[in-house]
Structure 1
């Protein structure tokens, strides 16, 4: 893996591990609890984060997948075991994509997002930032269901 890419992947790995630690041992009820009946639950946050990371990494690989990243926030029912499985598969998928990159790949187009057109190098950084952002939501939701 390229040094620059390896550094970003190490940060992504740390973020994933911190999320895993936070949700370890939570019951299905806790995964599904929606504070105030309207806030996002942990299931929707993790599902969304997994989908976004896979979508972004697929674009970085050059084979962009069409993934509805907003679906978890529109649902009223979540399959917690399926979400947990998808989350567990996300980091290995990201590693596989990033290991294959060459220096010239980093300059190729990544995705056009609300922030603008990002090349693959920028999309790697944006992916880490996005996952980190949603990592920060989990303790807030947990505080609300713990009272």
Structure 2
């Protein structure tokens, strides 16, 4: 198995974890914030998907699914379309309210674009520098591994929040 195929498998595992955390929950359950101030499942899934969309689209020279497919308008969130969740306040976290259909639809569309990008990525492409503002510069391979790691952390947090909710 080549590296792009391994990465595609990893992103597939993110998708599975997202579906497990979201499926069967209503809008209020998805917006529930454990302890009154923790991140909700809706925010966690929106954020991990926005980061994946942003980073993969930028590295591939594509428009983000968020804007290209009208997801920004469907979610109608009260912040700029470029927002990915980094540095958001508690109030902004609470503003991310969506139903399971929207969260999973957006995530699946981003997953599709990610897998499409990986299909056209060769081993040598993974060494291409995508961000030279760091020392050492960030390659495509490092960026994609970073996104997988971040996504899996947030998917795990969403699963934990769901477990808390399910146990009441």
- TM-score computed with the length of structure 2 as normaliser: 0.74
Q: Which has the higher contact order (CA 8 A, sep 6+)?
A: 2
Aligned to 1:91: 111
How far residue 130 of structure 1 moved from its aligned partner, in angstroms, is 1.1
Contact preservation (8 Å) 1:31, 1:42: yes
Checking the alignment, whether the CA contact within 8 Å between 2:47 and 2:85 is kept in structure 1 is: yes
| Range that drifts further, 21-30 or 61-70 | 61-70
User: Paired residue for 1:121?
Assistant: 141
Name 1:69's counterpart in structure 2: 84
Q: In structure 2, which of residues 78, 82, 98 is the aligned counterpart of residue 79 of structure 1?
A: 98
Q: Once structures 1 and 2 are overlaid, which stretch shifts more, 28-37 or 75-84? A: 75-84
**Unpaired runs of 5+ in structure 1?**
none
CA–CA distance in structure 1, aligned partners of residues 17 and 52 of structure 2: 16
SS in 2 for 1:76: helix
Is 1:17 the counterpart of 2:16 in the alignment?
Answer: yes
Task: Give yes or no for contact 2:40–2:94 (8 Å, CA) kept in 1.
Answer: no
Give the C-alpha shift of residue 50 in structure 1.
Answer: 0.6
**Secondary structure at the counterpart of residue 84 of structure 1:** helix
Over residues 81-118 of structure 1, what are the superposed CA-to-partner deviations in whole Å (9 max), with x where a residue is unaligned? Answer: 43332112121010111112233322222236889741
- Equivalence map 1:30-41=2 (5 Å): 30-41=29-40
SS at match of 1:126: helix
Aligned residues: 146
Q: What's the CA shift string for 1:1-24, capped at 9, x where partnerless?
A: x81110111122022113212321
Question: In angstroms, what is the RMSD of aligned CA positions?
Answer: 2.7
1:130 is matched with which residue?
150
